[in-house]
Amino acid sequence: NAGVMQNPRHLVRRRGQEARLRCSPMKGHSHVYWYRQLPEEGLKFMVYLQKENIIDESGMPKERFSAEFPKEGPSILRIQQVVRGDSAAYFCASSPDSDQPQHFGDGTRLSIL
């Protein structure tokens, strides 16, 4: 039973480019969460999605960031016009239901040149 799969593991972008991060939840999990980890810090919640719906985006920056979880395919976290401050590790987690423990992927480490 594969765990949460994230790709790419590492992503390098220049300032102003777009970054797309992908997350495939564990089999049977329809709830997906995105977190951001800045260097030497804990994880901060960004957004919670359930198939085709954004349930809670209270941790998402208002501009440049968006997330989706289509009916078919992985969840995507999209960052437009990236800036240096977007450099971080982005983790995806999934759960079978909102009140069940979340299982995390290995993360995507985004570096902005």
Partner 1 sequence: GEDVEQSLFLSVREGDSSVINCTYTDSSSTYLYWYKQEPGAGLQLLTYIFSNMDMKQDQRLTVLLNKKDKHLSLRIADTQTGDSAIYFCAESLRSSASKIIFGSGTRLSIRP
Name the site residues for partner 1 (rule: CB under 8 A): 4, 6, 31, 33, 35, 40-45, 48, 55-56, 58-59, 91, 93, 98-99, 101-107, 109
CA distances from 69 to 84, 85, 111 (A): 26, 25, 24
Instruction: Give the nearer residue to partner 1 in terms of CB position, either 85 or 101.
Output: 101
Find the shortest distance in angstroms from Cβ 50 to partner 1.
9
Instruction: Give the nearer residue to partner 1 in terms of CB position, either 14 or 99.
Output: 99
Q: Are 105 and 92 in contact (CB under 8 A)?
A: yes
Instruction: Give the nearer residue to partner 1 in terms of CB position, either 68 or 104.
Output: 104
Burial of 63 (0-12, 13-18, 19+ CB in 10 A): exposed
Find the shortest distance in angstroms from Cβ 12 to partner 1.
16
Cα–Cα dist 70/81, whole Å: 23
